[in-house]
Amino acid sequence: MSDYLVKALAFNGQVRAYAVKSTETVGEAQRRHYTWPTASAALGRAMTAGVMMGTMLKGEEKITVKIEGHGPIGVIIVDSNAKGDVRGFVTNPQTHFDLNEHGKLDVRRAVGTEGTLTVVKDLGLREHFSGQVPIVSGELGDDFTYYFARSEQVPSSVGVGVLVNPDNSILAAGGFIIQLLPGTGEEVIDEIEKSIQASPPISKLIQQGLNPEEILTRILGEGNVKILERMPIQFKCNCSKERFAAAIISLGKTEIEEMIHEDGQAETHCHFCNSKYVFSKEELEELVKEAK
C-alpha cells in the first residue's frame, strides 16, 4: 500500500492526532542519497515528523526543519508542505554505527546532542515564523516533542521510527503525533500517558504491519479515535533545470562568461534529491543574454 497520513480527533475533540506510514517515502530518500542504515534512520525520522508537521499547514504554506546536533551525520534538512510532499537530505549520508545498548540503530550518536532543532514556517507572509529549541535527546522523537511544548506551547507526544533491511533498503517507516488541545481533562491525559508508556516503540508497531489508523487506535484506545482525513504523502522535490537557470542568471553576466571560458559548461546539483543538471556552452551563452 502506498504511503499515506491520517488526521484525527480523539476523546470527543480533546485530542488532535496524526499518524503516517512513510516507508516508500523514506525509501526514495535512501535510494537518492545512498544513505547507510544509521543515516537512513535519522533522515527517515526527521522526514516522517516533517511530513506530519507540513500537513498541519494550509494551502501553499511550507515548513523547513533543520537539525544541527553537531554529530557525525552533520546537518539534516527537511522541507514539507500542506499537500503531503516532503524532501530531505543529510550532510554525511554514509554514516553508520553498531547498534546501541537497546539493539537499535544509534541515531543519537549520529545526530549528536549539542545543538538545535529549528523550524521555519513559510505562511505566505512577509516574515517567516521561526522556532528553535536545543536538542534534548538526539533520538529526534523526543526532540520534536520538546519543540512542540517549548516553541508552540502545545503539549505533544511524537513517535517516529525507521527499520532498515540488511541490504540498506527501508523495511518500514512511520510515526505519530498526539497533541492535547486546551481544556483536555486530567483523566484523558493520564490515560494517554499510560498508554504511550505501555505501548511498544513505534518501530515495533510498524514492523507488526499496523497502518496509521491502527497505530492511533493502539495508542488512544478502541472507540476513542475519529478519523477526519486521509491523504497520500510522497518524496517530491520542486527543483528543475529552469530554477537552476534562473539562479545562474542571478550570478550575472561576468560570472557566467567565466564558466564558459573555464569549463565550457556548468553542472548544478540539488542537495534535496541528488539530481544533476548540465548546462552546455550554448545554453550558458543564452543565459548570458538574459543576464544582460
Range of the domain at 247: 241-291
**Same domain assignment for residues 276 and 211:** no
Q: Which of 56, 1, 4, 6 is nearest to 220 (CA)?
A: 6
**Same domain assignment for residues 248 and 231:** no
Model's pTM, two decimal places? 0.93
**Same domain assignment for residues 106 and 16:** yes
**Same domain assignment for residues 58 and 188:** yes
Work out the number of other CB atoms within 10 angstroms of the CB of residue 63. Answer: 24
Question: Residue 152 — pLDDT band, cuts 50, 70, 90?
Answer: very high
Exposed / middle / buried, residue 77 (Cβ in 10 Å: 0-12, 13-18, 19+): buried
pLDDT tens, residue by residue, 47-95: 999 999 999 999 999 999 999 999 999 999 999 999 999 999 999 999 9
**Same domain assignment for residues 18 and 132:** yes
**Same domain assignment for residues 226 and 264:** no
Q: 240: which 3 cell numbers? A: 528543475
CATH number of the structural domain spanning residue 103: 3.55.30.10
**Same domain assignment for residues 249 and 141:** no
What is the reported pLDDT for 101?
Answer: 87
**Same domain assignment for residues 246 and 228:** no
CATH number of the structural domain spanning residue 264: 3.90.1280.10
**Same domain assignment for residues 224 and 171:** yes
pLDDT tens, residue by residue, 231-252: 999 999 999 989 999 999 998 8
Domain tally, the chain: 2
Q: Are 259 and 31 in contact (CB under 8 A)?
A: no
**Same domain assignment for residues 255 and 286:** yes
